[in-house]
Structure 1
Amino acid sequence: MRPRITCHMITSLDGRLHPARWSDPGDDRIDDLVGTHYEAAAGRIGAEGWIVGRRTMAEFVDQDADPERLEAPMTRPNHLAERGGRDLCVAIDPAGRLRFDADHIEGDHAVVILSERVTDAALARLRVAGVSYLFAGPDGDRLTSALDALGEAFGVSHLLLEGGGTTNGAFLAAGLIDAFSTLICPALDGLAGEASIVEHAGPAGSRPAAGQRLLLAACEPLSGGVVWLRHDVERAESVS
């Protein structure tokens, strides 16, 4: 029931995510390469919307630093606002920090995935703004059930997952990434500890990618020395 998820990212050669830190590629400026290729590649994939984490969405809307939360989770119904045939913009925001003042981001209908500890007042603000919301369990980490509900409610079959690394890592650990679309720029970051494509803060010895194999589907050179890799994810039956 859930939509197919393609993780679509643009990175330096060492897998880092912040172009402002990358080395100079020569004749082409990094921001020009990113602007030229990232959205164009996304358009060629042909998904019906995109998913980001709370930190990435905070580049588009305001957020609360420390929102009030319920002491105990409370089960309440999902809220489906009017989509109007638009693509979806989905934000993973368990604590309900994001404050939307409209029902869209750059024309795409806004949907928020929340925990069951978000207050009724926060939900009311989302409804007033025309934003749809879905619950992902007591702590907002039951992504599979939330995506099942998303697919059933809106009838979407394919979404792009566009990070950051922590959100991508949560999807990977849950076995929810079906493909990777990776644009690799001819540049380096090089500093340890900088954000990368996939990051999962599991316990020592954990293997969030276990049982998941990448199968190369395409490798395409683009202008400016960028290489576009597409991989399908093959999962063992034990990965849900």
Structure 2
Amino acid sequence: MNRPYIICHMETSINAKIYGPYMDIPSREIHTLNYNHTHLELKSEAWLCGRVTMEYFSGNGQPEFNPNTPIYPKEDFVAETDLKDFVIVVDASGKLPWKTNSIQYSVRPESHIIVILADDVNEQYVAYLRERNISFIFAGDREALNFHLAVQKLQQLFNINTLVVSGGAIVNGAFMNAGLIDEVSFVMAPVLDDAIGIPTLFERSPNLVSRPPIEFSLKSVEKLDGDNLWVRYLTKR
């Protein structure tokens, strides 16, 4: 396989909502602990999220460009880092205002940031990332990123052999639509949330063509604290 083994790992309600009012109930703490510890058990070198999810870590506002920073050619950039864990950020148009080149999430090791960019991203944003020693790769058109190319680069340039995809729903759906999800893993809370307009595990972007239903085979089910279930499915090929 010339790409990482890819697992989509999420926390959900019984009806597959990935966030919403159910996250404010008291048992949420147990659910989150279960999710974070099972995340580690997947033993990946990297985890991936979309731009909206990553706003929690990058902060609000716009990136502030330094007019004195030189303009660089648009080519993949592997920054120097001693970190062995990576967080991949899908930010095709270059909007997140990063201040550092790593983040710390829960029980996971400190993770070096790698940004997936579209080929036509603003060259000032490329300079902005290099100035902060943040790694990045290019993956085609911003309306339909080439995730096959992106994950091949992640393996070749960063030696990432197992990748966890962790939302949002559109990013999960894009990877599934591209046939790149090898395994679906989720920690399900014993809660039903009927809030309207909340995405489920996988959502399809309007610019992607619908594909036939995808079948899975059950890998394992484990009961966790708080009546949570950890369910794992393998994608049928």
**How far apart, in 1, do the equivalents of 2:147 and 2:102 lie?**
22
The one-letter code matched in structure 2 to 1:3 is P
- Tell me, yes or no, if the aligned pair for 2:45 and 2:161 is still in contact at 8 Å: yes
Correspondent of 1:45 among 42, 45, 51: 42
**How far apart, in 1, do the equivalents of 2:98 and 2:128 lie?**
8
The DSSP-based 3-state class of the residue aligned with 1:78 is coil
In structure 2, runs of 5+ residues without a counterpart are 66-72, 105-109
The change in CA–CA distance for 1:187 and 1:129 in structure 2 (over 3 A counts) is same
The change in CA–CA distance for 1:88 and 1:193 in structure 2 (over 3 A counts) is same
The change in CA–CA distance for 1:152 and 1:13 in structure 2 (over 3 A counts) is same
**How far apart, in 2, do the equivalents of 1:22 and 1:100 lie?**
27
- Tell me, yes or no, if the aligned pair for 2:21 and 2:193 is still in contact at 8 Å: no
Q: Pairwise mapping of residues 191-206 of structure 1 onto structure 2 (< 5 A)? A: 191-202=195-206
In the alignment, what sits opposite 1:72? Answer: none
Q: Pairwise mapping of residues 2-13 of structure 1 onto structure 2 (< 5 A)? A: 2-13=3-14
Aligned length: 224
In the alignment, what sits opposite 2:68? Answer: none
The Cα offsets for residues 8-52 of structure 1, whole Å up to 9 and x where unpaired, read as: 00100001011543585xxxx232122320111011111111000
Q: Pairwise mapping of residues 60-139 of structure 1 onto structure 2 (< 5 A)? A: 60-62=57-59, 76-106=74-104, 107-139=110-142
**CA apart distance, 1:157:** 0.4
**CA apart distance, 1:211:** 6.2
The change in CA–CA distance for 1:88 and 1:114 in structure 2 (over 3 A counts) is same
The Cα offsets for residues 137-163 of structure 1, whole Å up to 9 and x where unpaired, read as: 032611110111111001110011000
Q: Pairwise mapping of residues 147-158 of structure 1 onto structure 2 (< 5 A)? A: 147-158=151-162
In the alignment, what sits opposite 1:188? Answer: 192
TM-score, structure 2 length as denominator?
A: 0.87
**How far apart, in 2, do the equivalents of 1:55 and 1:11 lie?**
18
**CA apart distance, 1:62:** 3.0
The change in CA–CA distance for 1:44 and 1:115 in structure 2 (over 3 A counts) is same
The DSSP-based 3-state class of the residue aligned with 1:188 is coil
Task: Could you list the structure 1 runs, at least 4 aligned residues long, displaced by more than 6 angstroms after superposition.
Answer: 65-68
The one-letter code matched in structure 2 to 1:127 is R
In the alignment, what sits opposite 1:179? Answer: 183
The DSSP-based 3-state class of the residue aligned with 1:58 is helix
**How far apart, in 1, do the equivalents of 2:38 and 2:77 lie?**
32
Q: Does 1:212 align with 2:214?
A: yes
The DSSP-based 3-state class of the residue aligned with 1:230 is strand
**How far apart, in 1, do the equivalents of 2:214 and 2:88 lie?**
24
Identity of aligned residues (%): 28
TM-score, structure 1 length as denominator?
A: 0.86
Alignment RMSD, CA only? 2.4
**How far apart, in 2, do the equivalents of 1:66 and 1:102 lie?**
12
The Cα offsets for residues 70-122 of structure 1, whole Å up to 9 and x where unpaired, read as: xxxxx821111123242110000111001211110112000000101111110
The DSSP-based 3-state class of the residue aligned with 1:231 is strand
The one-letter code matched in structure 2 to 1:83 is T
The DSSP-based 3-state class of the residue aligned with 1:99 is coil
**How far apart, in 2, do the equivalents of 1:150 and 1:23 lie?**
35
